[in-house]
Amino acid sequence: MDFNLLSEQFKGYKNKSITDQVLGYDKLIDLMGEIKGKRVLDYGCGSGDFSRQLVGKGASVLGADISESMIEEAEKKIDKNFADKINYVIVKNNQLPLLSDNSFDFVVMNFVICTISEKSIVEQIFKEVFRLLKPGGQLFVLNVNWDKSNGHEFLSFKLDKVDDLKSGDKVGSILKWDDNIRIADYFWSQSNYRHFFEKAGFGNVKIKEILAIGREHPWVDEINYSPFFIISGQK
Ligand SMILES: C[S@@+](CC[C@H](N)C(=O)[O-])C[C@H]1O[C@@H](n2cnc3c(N)ncnc32)[C@H](O)[C@@H]1O
């Protein structure tokens, strides 16, 4: 997969996605609890939108991504007032060898594993972030909820209807902004994710699904189908 191209496409989408922000990122921040003063690794940070949100809440953040162009973009967007609280690094071979064991309170991975087709790479990433977390630290993974929302349409995106969905299958969706953008991801089920967490050594693994409540936004299927799930585990 061309991660630079993917990241370029995703960059424009970010600012327009109410579903992602309200039912994804905002819920993730709620679930993380107290983040002020905490050290967070945003693995697969893209252009750093979520890293900046975490810094705005008082965390100190390292964003890491395989895409050099995304890291350049994220660096350009660093707010001078928060420059001592945010740094970015490029990931090589799914590892961050210069970082010490047990150095983060939280790791977040938002919409990253869905871009990876090989189970062995996913397992390497989980192993590496487990190493980097402090004992008691938590990993949170935010992802599209294909198990429950296959074929559904949301305010900001629409998932194809895919029959006989199997782990590792390519799945398509449309990001609804300006000219709709078609993207392809890989399907990993909620139980695959649970396995990735447990195989890496995480305990206390929990899955949270989120439905929209009320009509503050012109929701489509968000009221009845959860567009995302957040899975977390503790070292
Ligand atoms: C769909 S984007 C999501 C970006 C960001 N997390 C967000 O929520 O806006 C997926 C990101 O994961 C990165 N990525 C994919 N595979 C990776 C890997 N093996 N290691 C680190 N980053 C990776 C891509 O370069 C891309 O920036």
At residue 66, the pLDDT reads 97
Query: CB of 227 closer than 6 A to ligand 1?
Result: no
- Residue 213 burial by Cβ neighbours in a 10 Å radius (0-12, 13-18, 19+): exposed
Kindly list the distances between the CA atom of residue 7 and the CA atoms of 67, 142, 179, in Å, as whole numbers in the listed order.
8, 17, 17
* Bridge partner residues of 61 (DSSP): 40, 86
Give the atom of ligand 1 at the shortest distance from the alpha carbon of 67: 25
At residue 3, the pLDDT reads 65
Query: CB of 46 closer than 6 A to ligand 1?
Result: yes
Give the atom of ligand 1 at the shortest distance from the alpha carbon of 49: 9
Contact (Cβ atoms closer than 8 angstroms) between residue 185 and residue 170: yes
Query: CB of 94 closer than 6 A to ligand 1?
Result: yes
pLDDT digits (tens, 9 = 90+) for 32-53: 999 999 999 999 999 999 999 9
Q: Which stretches of the chain drop beneath a pLDDT of 50?
A: none
At residue 17, the pLDDT reads 85
- Is 3-144+187-214+226-234 a domain of CATH 3.40.1180.10? no
Q: How many Å lie between the centroid of ligand 1 and the Cα of residue 190?
A: 19
Residue 163 neighbours by CB under 8 Å, 6+ apart: none
At residue 2, the pLDDT reads 64
At residue 216, the pLDDT reads 84
CA distance 84 to 213: 37
Q: How many Å lie between the centroid of ligand 1 and the Cα of residue 47?
A: 9
Q: Which of 12, 19, 64 is nearest to 210 (CA)?
A: 19
Query: CB of 54 closer than 6 A to ligand 1?
Result: no
Query: CB of 111 closer than 6 A to ligand 1?
Result: yes
Domain ranges of the chain: 3-144+187-214+226-234
**Helices and strands (H and E) in the chain: how many:** 8, 10
pTM (two decimals): 0.94
For a substitution probing ligand 1, which of 20, 115, 116, 142 has the most ligand atoms within 8 Å of its CB?
A: 115
Task: Return the residue whose CA atom lies nearest to atom 4 of ligand 1.
Answer: 46
Q: Which of 134, 135, 166, 127 is nearest to 150 (CA)?
A: 166
